[in-house]
Amino acid sequence: MTDSSVSQPNFFEVKKGLFSWIFSLDHKRIGLLYLYSVGSFFLVGAALGVLMRLELFNPGADLIEAKTYNQVFTLHGVIMIFLFIIPSIPAVFGNFFLPIMLGTDDVAFPRLNLLSWWLYVLGALFALSTLVFGDGPADTGWTFYAPYSVKTGTNVSMSVLAAFILGFSSILTGLNFIVTIHRLRAPGMGFNQMPLFAWALYATSWIQLLATPIIGITLLMIVAERMLGIGLFDPSIGGDPILYQHLFWIYSHPAVYIMALPAMGIVSEIIPTFAQRTIFGYKAIAYSSLAIAFVGYFVWGHHMFTSGMSGPAAYIFSILTFFVAIPTSIKVFNWLATMYKGSINVQVPLLYAVAFIFNFLIGGLTGLVVGALAADVHLHDTYFVVGHFHYVMFGGTGFAFFGALHYWYPKIWGKMYNKLIANIAFAILFIGFNTLYFPMLILGIKGMPRRYYDYLPEFHTLNQISTVGSWILIIGLLLMIFNLFKGYFSKQKAPANPWNGITLEWQTQSPPTLYNFDKAPELVEGGPYNYPNAMKG
């Protein structure tokens, strides 16, 4: 099958056919199953986003009316959060590369891994079933706030159950990674010799494990109220909807770090490879992931400054929120210090990594603005918030996801995409992204509320700019995807190590063989990023 007599059949070649994929226990195939499913849902979500932007091109209901608009942003939010961004980096690249980077041949529980993908599919079916069954998709916003989520006639139960099942899937992935990291590292690889991507996944997995059950039970309470009449949040009998908000954000704020930490792990891989030198502050980056995960547990109240909260509680939540900025900036400074005076090889993955830093900086700083009490009272539930979280999730994690795709593409498929087109697509995407979301920040400061299909005439121009931005963004996105597909069909093979990386995945052949390594991998002495010929200083 293979051209050269030395190389073993790769993991694509060992077995063929649909069933060899959807029942595969190979962590690499499961990673790719996730890639195809997560990627498809991203496109569906993006289409819904563009639809909303089209409606907002002019004031008034010219494309969709109020209720439909509410359903569209809810479905958009549910898809983007639960079906795209939370599983994105861990389930796709974590599954594919964590075992390889640790120098092993699989995750600790391969069957559980397959189960979590199937649960993902089941959850997705539940979420999409609302399009067909019942009274249409939920119109509550992705936050499902009680009491509206209990009263509305739309099919909230199915969406909520979908989120519950997807949470379960996410827990199983996290559990699998923690055990894998504890038990399957290559002999001689201590925790402090692990690649930083593994560290990031480790911290992420703990959050998945320790936060997700809370939203699970909270969502079950919503279902119980809708289906059995067990009205735990029903204000008419003294139930407390604010309690729902607390429980919801106890998970959903840490969930922000389920989205952000893996992305930071990707950036910590890409930057040393393209600077060809040791990462600056390895331990600081590694432990700051744990610090972010830890502090991130105690800040959920910043989503509720305007829902009624005692003064002291609000101060404390606000101050703690500011603390999260410290470990985050530690990372940013270390990345910059790594690049400073390095022999930088500017390639597409690096561009995405730098774009991550740029966008995440805006996302993070605007986060501090809404984390400050006085400012939040004005900005809460405005487009400022919409701009802020798209900068974090899309501009941050989304761009890191695309960066990872370009970084590991030659390893996964053994082919190379056209670099020129990839650069152009990146530029369009970056410009489109900022044109789409920066105006939202200004709109928010001017007072335009979120979650409306309509707006006052004075917001017209900025909304039009934003919508044009969404068109530019989509062009960049399609060009990027087209280029990646085209690369797959090109005849030219990529070398096993095109970027001169030294973490263990670059020691395998491209694409890797079924069991990844044909001989014990050789660990790099003096840490995973100790480049032998690096320019010092």
Partner 1 sequence: MEHSFVLPNSGHTYDAKASKLGMWLFLYTELLLFGGLFIVYMVYRSLNPDAFLMASLNLNVWMGTVNTVVLLTSSMTVAMSITAIQLGNSKLSLKLLLITVFAAVVFLVIKYFEWGAKIEHGLWPGMEHFGSLSHGEQLYFYLYFFMTGLHGLHVIVGMIFIVVVMNKIKKGSINKDKNQLLENSGLYWHLVDLIWIYLFPLFYLIH
On whether the CB atoms of residues 532 and 525 are closer than 8 A, the answer is no
Q: Minimum Å distance from CB 461 to ligand HEM?
A: 16
- Residue 357 near partner 1 by CB under 8 A: no
Burial of 526: CB neighbours in 10 Å, binned 0-12, 13-18, 19+ = exposed
472: CB partners within 8 A, 6+ apart: 428, 431, 432, 435, 436
Q: Rounded to an integer, what is the distance from CA 188 to the centroid of its chain?
A: 31
- Within residues 445-474, the interface with partner 1 by CB under 8 A covers none
> CA triplet 85, 176, 285: central angle to 5 degrees?
65
Residue from the set 50, 115, 243, 373 that interacts with ligand HEM by CB under 6 A: 50
On whether the CB atoms of residues 166 and 119 are closer than 8 A, the answer is yes
- Within residues 81-100, the interface with partner 1 by CB under 8 A covers 99
- Residue 237 near partner 1 by CB under 8 A: yes
- Binding part of the chain for Cu ion, among 172-180, 252-260, 386-394, 444-452 by CB under 5 A, reads 252-260
Residue from the set 79, 107, 370, 393 that interacts with partner 1 by CB under 8 A: 107
- Within residues 186-215, the interface with Cu ion by CB under 5 A covers none
* Cβ closest to ligand HEM, residue 101 vs residue 259: 259
List the single partner that 253 binds among Cu ion, partner 1, ligand HEM, none, CB under 5 to 8 Å by kind.
Cu ion
- Binding part of the chain for partner 1, among 136-144, 218-226, 265-273, 368-376 by CB under 8 A, reads 218-226
Structure tokens at 475: 């062009």
* Cβ closest to ligand HEM, residue 33 vs residue 393: 393
- Binding part of the chain for ligand HEM, among 27-35, 89-97, 128-136, 392-400 by CB under 6 A, reads 392-400
* CA–CA dist 527, 190 (Å, integer): 10
What Å distances lie between residue 423 and 38, 403, 432, 476, 492, CA to CA? Answer: 23, 11, 14, 10, 19
- Within residues 482-521, the interface with partner 1 by CB under 8 A covers 514-515, 517-520
- Residue 212 near partner 1 by CB under 8 A: yes
* Nearest alpha carbon to residue 74 among 160, 1, 169: 160
Residue with tokens 């900022």: 434
Residue with tokens 């060899």: 20
Q: Minimum Å distance from CB 437 to ligand HEM?
A: 8
* CA–CA dist 268, 353 (Å, integer): 9
* CA–CA dist 449, 322 (Å, integer): 25
Q: Minimum Å distance from CB 310 to partner 1?
A: 14
Q: Minimum Å distance from CB 243 to Cu ion?
A: 18
Which residues are near partner 1 by CB under 8 A?
Answer: 9, 14, 27, 99, 102-110, 112, 171, 175-176, 178-180, 182-187, 209-210, 212-214, 216-218, 220-221, 224, 228-232, 237-240, 243, 247, 514-515, 517-520
